[in-house]
Chains A and B, each alone.
Chain A
Amino acid sequence: MAKVLMKGNEALGEAAILAGCRYYFGYPITPQSELPAYLAKRLPQVDGVFVQAESEVSAINMVYGAASAGARVMTSSSSPGISLKQEGISYIAGAELPCLIVNVMRGGPGLGNINPSQSDYWQATRGGGHGDYRTLVMAPNSVQEMADFTLAAFEYADRFRNPVLMLSDGVLGQMMEPVVMPSPKDYDIDSKKWALGYTGKDKTARNLCTSIFMGQEELEEHNWSLYQKYQVITDFFKANKELAVEEYLCDDAEIILVGYGIISRILKTVVEKCRKRGIKAGLVRPKVLWPFPSEIISKLADKASKFLVVEMSYGQMVEDVKLAVEGKKPVYFFGRTGGAVPSDFEILNEVDKIVRPD
Chain B
Amino acid sequence: MKQVFGKTKVLSANPTHYCPGCDHGIVHRLIAETLEELEVADKAIGIAPVGCSVFAYDYFNIDFNQAAHGRAPAVATGIKRTRPDSIVFTYQGDGDLAAIGTAEIIHAANRGENITVVFINNGIYGMTGGQMAPTTLVGMKTQTSPYGRDAATMGSPIRVSEIIATLESPAYVTRVTVNTIANQMKAKKAIKNAFTLQKEKKGFSFVEVVCICPTNWGKKPTDAHKWLAENMLPVFPLGTFKDIHGIEKA
Contacts and interface: CB of A to CB of B under 8 A. Distances in A.
Nearest to A25: B78
B8 interface: no
A234 B76 CA distance: 33
B67 interface: yes
A66 B78 contact: yes
Contacts of B78: 23, 25, 61-69, 71, 73
A209 interface: yes
| Highest count of chain B CB atoms <10 Å: which of A53, A65, A189 | A65
B241 to A, nearest CB: 22
A23 B81 contact: yes
B140 interface: no
Contacts of A87: 68
Contacts of A49: 81-82
Contacts of B61: 206
Interface string A51-66: 1011101110111111
Given A61-B104, A197-B45, A197-B86, A68 B65 contact: yes
A73 B68 CA distance: 19
B82 A53 contact: no
Interface in B60-102: 61-68, 71, 74-83, 86
Contacts of B43: 197, 199
Given A58-B103, A87-B68, A197 B75 contact: no
A65 B79 contact: yes
B9 interface: no
A189 B79 CA distance: 12
A232 interface: no
Interface residues of A, number: 38
A183 interface: no
Interface string A81-102: 0000001100100010000000
B42 interface: yes
A53 B64 contact: no
Contacts of A4: none
A225 interface: no
Contacts of B76: 65
A65 B64 contact: no
Given A49-B81, A61-B75, A62-B78, A197 B68 contact: no
A61 B67 contact: yes
Contact of A196 (B63, B107, B111): B63
A70 interface: yes
A123 interface: no
A54 B68 contact: no
Contact of B65 (A23, A65, A88): A65
A191 interface: no
Contact of A197 (B47, B63, B104): B63
Max count, chain A CB within 10 A of own CB: residue among B43, B48, B57, B79: B79
B122 to A, nearest CB: 22
B54 interface: yes
A65 B77 contact: yes
Contacts of A209: 64-66
Most A CB within 10 A of own CB, among B45, B71, B78, B79: B78
15 contacts: A55-B103, A57-B103, A58-B103, A62-B78, A64-B75, A65-B76, A66-B78, A91-B68, A197-B43, A206-B61, A206-B63, A208-B63, A208-B66, A209-B64, A210-B65
Interface of A: 23, 25, 49, 51, 53-55, 57-59, 61-71, 73, 87-88, 91, 95, 189, 196-199, 206-212
Given A62-B75, A66-B82, 6 more contacts: A53-B74, A58-B77, A65-B65, A197-B45, A206-B61, A210-B57
A-B residue pairs, 3 tightest by C-beta: A65-B78, A66-B78, A61-B74
